[in-house]
Chains A and B, each alone.
Chain A
Amino acid sequence: MASASIPAYSSNALENSSTKNASRESLKMEPLSDMPLLPGEERVIDKDIIYICPFSGAVKGKVVITNYRLYFRSVEAEPVVTFDVPLGTISRVEKMGGASSRGENSYGLDITCKDMRNLRFALKQEGHSRRDIFDILFRHAFPLSHGLQLFAFLSQEKFEENGWNVYNPMQEFRRQGLPNDSWRITFLNENYELCDTYPALLAVPFKASDEDLRKVATFRSRGRIPVLSWIHPEKQAVITRCSQPLVGMSGKRNRDDERYLDLIREANGGTSKLTIFDARPNVNAVANKATGGGYEGEDYQNAELVFLDIHNIHVMRESLKKLKDIVYPHVEEAHWLSSLESTHWLEHVKLVLAGAIQVADKVSSGQSVLVHCSDGWDRTAQLTSLSMLMLDSFYRTLHGFQVLLQKEWLGFGHKFGSRIGHGDKNHADADRSPIFLQFIDCVWQMTKQFPTAFEFNDRLLLTVLDHLYSCRFGTFLYNCESARDANEVKTKTVSLWSLVNSDRSSYINPFYTMESSRVLYPVASMRHLELWVGYYIRWNPRIRHQSPVEQRYRELLALKDQYLKKLEELQLSGSAPRLSNSTAPSPASPTQRVTHMHTPF
């Protein structure tokens, strides 16, 4: 264990930094009375505890558990160690050691978090001192398993902006130029009757009747029929998405489905082929026939099928688990690169990106595509949203990115509730998988490769991931729009975008250069992919997280403003004396100016 290092934890809730700076002297009165509390947040328990920091050893302190977070502050260590963890981040709480365990700090709690860290606390062994804290933590970390509400429904937070207004499906369709001659908007799913995991508004081929859609729905897994996600503004080529066809072992055909796909192809002024990207590896697609699924066979004329070889949610979950093993708490030293390779995490990222590149390439060359996997809410969402990021610069803006997430991920029913396991104690649930994290990683790789092409910065991505788990906002709760509607998420909770859009400047990339209609093709080669250290290894104090480039740029901008201002002043003051005495400017100003010239840049 590294000795003598004090972890400077970057707080999970970055936006609270101002409140946290409040005086630390008031400790004696009430334990941690100055700790930040959100409106609606309530303290439940506090306790003396020892935090077993993997970097600097045992730290004595106090812990407070509220209905939103676990907050720790050291009492003796200098500098003060503090951190807070939203309870939603916790995936597992375990007791460590027993009442009779020997050894220092062997009795306590072991907390596994969803955000690549673990926390260990030690308590006094006398008098079952951990029983109450364990029970409370367990209840509040997993409220849904205990008949409690998620904090998002208890929060009283108010923001200037209302994030629920960020995305208006109709407006987004109009932005894309829809409806048009070939595509119409249907309200068929207004009450989620056609497909309960789809959004209410759908864009479909103009020539397809509502009746056609109903027929197609019977042949697509969970009724997730092919609908439009994006249309190329000039070439009219489209990205459509759906779930797998229900071909089954017998290789069933469905003429309606075949005809419908041909309508999609035709909608784009007669390109000869529709490319179907099946995100799965070929063998998996075949295997799916056994459970009634499958892929589009020979019967689909005018269509070509491409498998993208992206693995399923279980493979991704295991891969991330392996990654955590080599980065937390300590970064694997002896064989870092081969260990990294053996996690396959970056290789999966490469495959997802490579798939999205192929989709984007097809579309920008004028051909329509259809993307699906099994259900069309994991890999499909990754592929469509990434290719849309490549194709459409709107989605690379701070606002556009929010629209993209709302539309492709939340709207089309990526099962956030199940994949993250919000408020659920079943940490080993096979439904959990870091698909969305993987997507954000892909976005981060793109921002790394194109540092001027995105209006938002790393901090936005980190914030999105933090609140993916925190349950402070309603945005990522539940599995689909119909469930969010049923639970009145929009009226009873706050949107994450309220937080973001009330503090836009914090999330802006200063290097952003607006360039509409430019297609970005990242390089999906291992040579360029790198581990997102700022996320996966952010709890390690040895890793510096700072961007000198960004800081320098801001400094220079400030300097430029300062000079411009000075110059302006000079122009104003300079015009008067010039008339009287042009060679000798007023004696006071030059010296004053000279001192400013020493400002470094």
Chain B
Amino acid sequence: MLSLGSGGGKPVKPSFVSYVTPEEIKSTERETSRKEKHPDLLPGEVVFCSTNPVLKYTQDDVSQRGIFGTLVCTNFRIAFVSDEAPSEEQAQLFKNKLYGENDIPLTCVDHIYGGYDEKKKLITGGLVRNKYPSKIIIHCKDLRVFQFSLTYAKEEEAKKIFQGIIHHSLEPKSLKCIFAFSYCEKATATPEIHRTPRTVMFDTVEDWTQEMKRTKGNCKVVSANENFSLSQKLPQFFIMPTAVLDEDMTKFEGKGLPIWCWSHHSGCALFKTASLPLMQEDGYSQAYKIYMERMLNAVAQTHLYSVKTEELSDTLPTIQDIQQSYSRFKQFFLIDNTTEFWLSDMKWFSSLENSGWLDIIRQCLQKAVEVVECLEKENTNVLIMEEAGSDLCCVISSLVQLMLDPYCRTLAGFQSLVQKEWVAGGHSFLDRCNHVHQKDKEQFQSPVFLLFLECVWQLLQQHGPAFQFSETYLTVLSDSVHVPVFGTFLFNSPYHRATVMKNDSPQTQRGPLNCPEVWDWSLQFERKAQDLFTNPLYAEKPKQDKGARRTYRPKHQRQLSLPSSAFKTPPKKGFFKEETDSLKKMLRVKRISRWLHSPDSAQASTREFYEAWQRKPLDYHSLILPCLDGPAMRVWMQRYLRWIHEVQIFGGGAITVMSKLADLVGEVQELRRELERQACRADSNHQRAAASHRSSVRLSSSFPFATSRVWSFKPAIPTSLLQSLMITGGLADQDDEDGETLGVV
């Protein structure tokens, strides 16, 4: 980026300025005709407007230097194309194929500020009538910050691009205007081919049947909603307790229906539901109560006539709380300049605490541990509920499965989990992300899915070896939510998706439109870059475990988690069932109970549960529980700090170790292949492929994101140190040597 000067042959073109304030460029030079460069457009991408020259400030220096180039607004992105020819060394390993490092997908725009001289004003959309800002500052949802100066372009053009950017990235629009629809119409490759075959989409009966088989559940697969006649919120196919009567299914548009999530090996299972308004004083409430009781009975009959219910909205923050907390939290990372950074560094810990974000993460994990405890220790069925049944229910049910089921911690298992609980589970991605900027939907905007990923990250950093995927994978996944190419995060429910796709496709001959799924990672990254999604710490479960701690199981079956409780339940349930049948009535009354603990006692109980688990030898292929103590809860450094130049550790960071580990894994894999080859063909030559070593020491803590092309030899020296420490009282003034006088005075 800092290649000095312009290309040799080309004259008078102020293509790049270094150490020169922009004012020094003579206006005559600016008048010379220039060729605007446009990015390589994606299929279906249309340029709306563009302007040249625009100065993009570089973030990584105090002195505001920049690059000149063209600012382009298309139906997909805001792109900045440098006038400089991209140099060869810029070829990045981790390049996103859909958008470049200077591109902002329209749905990724978080806030836009106008820079008026020294002032910064939030632009909320609409026509800017008075004065056009000289600078446009864009905060992105993936936490990048861009600053463009518009003062070098012709005024008309500057106005046009400014208005264009505001219009296309902030104004309400119809869902159809989202780029994905233009893209999938024009994109030649059918997404089906690219789709990772192993990700289960949960859009067929077979997927659900298979999942129940995998977890050895004993519930029934329901196809009654195939045409969404039963409920527009539920997926086409789902699973419920066998004991739910067919006539009960159609009662309240699916509300109150216990939807199966996952079965524990003991036989008990986790269910979720959209709760019925039981507390309302109207004619319905009695009917609701009776209905819910029947549903609870049905759940209870799944295993041992026991069920616990948990209304998540009673104890967890609301989606508005989540949104507000995250808004405060993300501000710490949207840094405009160095001074601001070091100022905010002083009160970092207390600011962090005040945002409440880590606490919300902790609460979710805590709740998930409580549910895990019920399933694992008490072997009771659990029904979690919440108003829509598709926000915190998704968070908690997914977390429970991640902790209990090692399959969910594999890459394919995790993607399938997201499909099952979030996509098929009807999480309102469109409303929560508000991709289309509808003003009346703003109150529903909330980063619930991100909250889930944050919780997963906490688990990952505490129990690295238990996960097949890496931190980088999670970061990229969190970014992908705001890339308007994938169908995965565009809709409010499977019904929503189906109707939109049907209505939108008449003119095409190819049948219903189909957006690519985010799981088709090859759309975004080359094979090599995708290697960074796997966690080198992950050790696959040995296929034949001869340590006879548990009963032998064929390798495709799920592993048991905690053996102690598993032994409580005899493998054959028949005998037990008979006995309990006689106690049926009594048990039903006794065991159907809400959790009446105060949050404190629940915490004490989980604490005990955690400690009991902690005393056991750690098995990464079994149950994992998070430590929720203050020091254990961390900030997802990679996601939040990756673009901030001041905190980049050049040649350092955890990545240096991870890449060494990855290299070694590669080497060992290569050796193993070699051994296998040799075992088959004894005559093959001994040629060990030299593992391509990444030089770990040349990475920075922001790897693989912000690549620093300028190798910084200058350390970041904190400013405003003096103000930071207000030590008051006598101690600070004392001399080091108390009571001693200096030797020679």
Contacts and interface: CB of A to CB of B under 8 A. Distances in A.
A9 interface: no
A524 B652 CA distance: 13
Given A548-B465, A552-B465, A567-B674, A453 B652 contact: yes
Nearest to B660: A511
Contacts of A358: 717
A331 B632 CA distance: 11
Interface stretch (B15-23, B390-398, B731-739): B731-739
A599 B545 CA distance: 10
Interface in A356-404: 357-358, 360-361, 364, 373-375, 378
Contact of B736 (A292, A313, A526): A313
Contacts of B354: 338
A341 B676 contact: no
B668 A542 contact: no
B502 interface: no
Interface in B693-745: 696-697, 701, 713-718, 721-722, 724-725, 727, 731-739, 741-745
Given A361-B715, A560-B668, A312 B735 contact: yes
Contact of B664 (A351, A515, A524, A557): A557
A364 B679 CA distance: 55
Contact of B682 (A292, A346, A525, A582): A582
A361 B717 contact: yes
Contacts of B644: 527
Contact of A223 (B540, B611, B722, B743): B743
A314 B731 contact: yes
A221 B656 contact: no
A585 B677 CA distance: 12
Contacts of B675: 563, 566-567, 570, 593, 597
B476 interface: no
Contacts of A520: 651-652
A291 interface: yes
Contacts of A218: 744
Nearest to A334: B630
Interface centre among A311, A360, A452 (most CB of B within 10 A): A452
A450 B683 CA distance: 45
Interface in B643-675: 644, 646-654, 656-658, 660-661, 664-665, 667-669, 671-672, 674-675
Interface string B673-692: 01110111011001010000
A6 interface: yes
A594 B539 contact: no
A593 B713 CA distance: 50
Contact of B672 (A531, A537, A541, A563): A563
B713 A519 contact: yes
A564 B671 CA distance: 7
Contact of A560 (B541, B667, B734, B744): B667
B679 A542 contact: no
A309 B654 CA distance: 30
A571 B686 contact: yes
A600 interface: yes
B625 to A, nearest CB: 11
A549 B461 CA distance: 11
B544 interface: yes
A45 interface: no
Q: Which of the listed residues B543, B612, B735 has the most CB atoms from chain A within 10 Å of its own CB?
A: B735
B283 interface: no
A542 B664 contact: no
B629 A315 contact: no
A287 B717 contact: no
A59 to B, nearest CB: 16
Contacts of B542: 598-600
A93 B341 CA distance: 46
B352 interface: yes
B725 A291 contact: no
Nearest to B648: A523
Contact of B665 (A308, A313, A373, A556): A556
B349 interface: yes
Interface residues of A, number: 110
Interface string A259-289: 0000000000000000000000111100110
A590 B682 CA distance: 10
Interface in A550-578: 552-553, 555-557, 559-560, 563-564, 566-567, 570-571, 574, 577-578
Nearest to B621: A600
A601 B665 contact: yes
A281 B679 contact: no
Given A336-B631, A523-B716, A600-B542, A452 B738 contact: no
A16 interface: no
Contacts of B632: 543
Given A361-B714, A451-B652, A309 B682 contact: no
Contacts of A590: 679-680
Interface string B617-638: 0000000000101111101010
B739 A542 contact: no
B608 interface: yes
Interface string A198-212: 000000000000000
Nearest to B667: A560
Contact of A594 (B464, B679, B716): B679
Interface in A322-368: 331-333, 335-338, 340-341, 344, 346-348, 350-351, 354, 357-358, 360-361, 364
A544 interface: yes
Contacts of B358: 337
A601 B652 contact: no
Contacts of A525: 341-342, 345, 348, 646-647, 716, 718
A596 to B, nearest CB: 8
A574 B671 contact: no
B485 interface: no
Given A518-B697, A552-B537, A601-B668, A544 B350 contact: no
Interface string B326-349: 000000000000000110011111
Contact of A598 (B544, B614, B668, B742): B544
A521 B607 contact: no
A284 B631 CA distance: 34
A522 interface: yes
B682 A578 contact: yes
A515 B697 contact: yes
Given A450-B651, A543-B632, A601-B539, A556 B661 contact: yes
Nearest to B537: A552
A318 interface: yes
| The 5 A-B residue pairs with the shortest CB-CB distance in the complex, in nearest-first order | A336-B630, A292-B745, A521-B715, A526-B348, A341-B349
Interface of B: 341-342, 345-350, 352-354, 358, 463-465, 536-537, 539-544, 607-608, 610-612, 614-615, 627, 629-633, 635, 637, 641, 644, 646-654, 656-658, 660-661, 664-665, 667-669, 671-672, 674-676, 678-680, 682-683, 686, 688, 696-697, 701, 713-718, 721-722, 724-725, 727, 731-739, 741-745
Given A335-B353, A544-B614, A552-B536, 13 more contacts: A374-B736, A375-B737, A430-B739, A518-B697, A523-B648, A523-B701, A543-B632, A552-B661, A555-B539, A556-B664, A566-B675, A570-B682, A582-B683
Interface of A: 2-6, 218, 221-223, 246, 248, 281-284, 287-288, 291-293, 308-309, 311-315, 318, 331-333, 335-338, 340-341, 344, 346-348, 350-351, 354, 357-358, 360-361, 364, 373-375, 378, 430-431, 449-453, 511, 513, 515, 518-528, 531, 533, 537, 541-544, 548-549, 552-553, 555-557, 559-560, 563-564, 566-567, 570-571, 574, 577-578, 582, 585, 589-590, 593-594, 597-601
24 contacts: A5-B615, A223-B744, A281-B732, A282-B722, A292-B742, A313-B736, A315-B732, A341-B349, A361-B717, A450-B652, A452-B660, A452-B696, A513-B660, A525-B348, A528-B647, A528-B701, A537-B631, A542-B627, A544-B627, A578-B682, A578-B683, A597-B675, A600-B540, A601-B668
